[in-house]
């Protein structure tokens, strides 16, 4: 509770947190609205796009692209601690380095929960207002996509936390984080066989929110081997633990 109280005092007045959350929610709503206005054969996609329970998978897939925002936010929070010497001060005041990492992990869980809650509210709003079916089976049919998204968001942020503790500077940490997620690991995918490639960190996390209609696409093209969300959740939790452990050892053996 002491760690949570300390982090709460830091986060609540921090405008960057609220700005990034607002950007996340705004982009999500914008994409949903823009997608509904697409016209095919004279009919808009609104009636199909907002149908439950399929809407949950569509929402989490769209939101997965914004996990980089959460990662950037964690990097800013951690590197600011270095800039203002608050990590060093907290150690002087009696916190251990393990508690410093644990405090940031609590922040990660809170942000992942908040992001998932936004998806729940948005999904219920559009699904109940514009969807045809309002039955319990429709509302809860594929809602397990939300906890998978929670794990995915936490995975992105713990990886970002690791880069922040390693590099200490926000700009370089953000560049390294995005470069690994979008360039380095995708290049490695071409060099590794599929049975190994599917267990790489970013591909495991991406498997938690698969693209809607992926099964149909695989029938038309050469399918790529990928874990199902049910198969990916345990490796993803394992990677979260590894990233946290590496963050701890990085903090333990580096100067504050």
Average pLDDT over residues 88-92: 84
Is residue 132 predicted with pLDDT exceeding 80? Answer: no
The per-residue pLDDT for 30 is: 84
The per-residue pLDDT for 43 is: 52
What confidence tens digit (pLDDT) does each residue in 152-185 have? 999 999 999 999 999 989 999 999 999 999 999 8
Find the DSSP H helices in the chain.
Answer: 2-11, 15-36, 46-49, 54-64, 67-83, 86-92, 97-130, 136-140, 145-167, 170-179, 185-191, 194-197, 201-207, 214-220, 229-252
Query: Quick check: helix, strand or coil at residue 39?
Result: strand
Higher pLDDT, 138 or 184: 184
Beta bridge partners of 43: 40
Burial class (CB within 10 angstroms; exposed 0-12, middle 13-18, buried 19+) of 178: middle
Is residue 90 predicted with pLDDT exceeding 60? Answer: yes
The per-residue pLDDT for 236 is: 96
Cα-only R_g, the chain: 20
Which residue from 145, 114, 160 is spatially nearest to 208, judged by alpha carbons? 145
Q: Give the separation between CA 23 and CA 16, rounded to whole angstroms.
A: 10
What confidence tens digit (pLDDT) does each residue in 186-211 have? 888 888 777 788 899 999 999 999 88
User: CB-side exposure of 165: number of CA atoms within 13 Å?
Assistant: 25
Domain ranges, residue 82: 2-252
pLDDT band at 78 (very low <50, low <70, confident <90, very high): very high
The two tokens of residue 42 are 């004279």
Higher pLDDT, 40 or 49: 49
pTM for this model (two decimals):
0.89
The per-residue pLDDT for 64 is: 92
The two tokens of residue 78 are 């951690």
Give the total number of structural domains in the chain.
1
């Amino acid at each position: 509770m002491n760690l949570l109280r300390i982090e709460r005092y830091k986060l609540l007045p921090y405008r960057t947190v609220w700005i990034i959350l607002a950007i996340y929610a705004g982009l999500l709503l914008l994409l949903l609205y823009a997608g509904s206005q697409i016209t095919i054969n004279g009919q808009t996609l609104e009636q199909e796009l907002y149908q439950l329970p399929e809407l949950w998978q569509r929402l989490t897939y769209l939101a997965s692209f914004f996990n980089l925002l959460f990662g950037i936010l964690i990097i800013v929070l951690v590197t600011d601690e270095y800039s203002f010497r608050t990590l060093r001060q907290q150690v002087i005041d009696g916190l251990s380095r393990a508690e410093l990492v644990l405090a940031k992990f609590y922040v990660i869980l809170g942000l992942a929960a908040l992001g998932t809650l936004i998806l729940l509210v948005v999904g219920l709003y559009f699904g109940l207002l514009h969807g045809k079916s309002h039955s319990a089976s429709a509302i809860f049919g594929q809602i397990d996509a939300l906890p998978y998204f929670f794990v995915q968001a936490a995975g992105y942020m713990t990886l970002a936390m690791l880069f922040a503790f390693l590099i200490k500077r926000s700009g370089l940490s953000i560049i390294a984080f995005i470069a690994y997620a979008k360039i380095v690991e995708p290049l490695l995918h071409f060099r590794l066989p599929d049975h190994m490639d599917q267990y790489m960190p970013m591909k495991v996390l991406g498997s938690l929110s698969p693209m809607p209609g992926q099964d149909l696409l695989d029938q038309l093209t050469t399918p790529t081997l990928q874990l199902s969300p049910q198969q990916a959740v345990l490796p993803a939790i394992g990677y979260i633990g590894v990233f946290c452990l590496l963050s701890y050892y990085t903090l333990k053996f580096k100067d504050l």
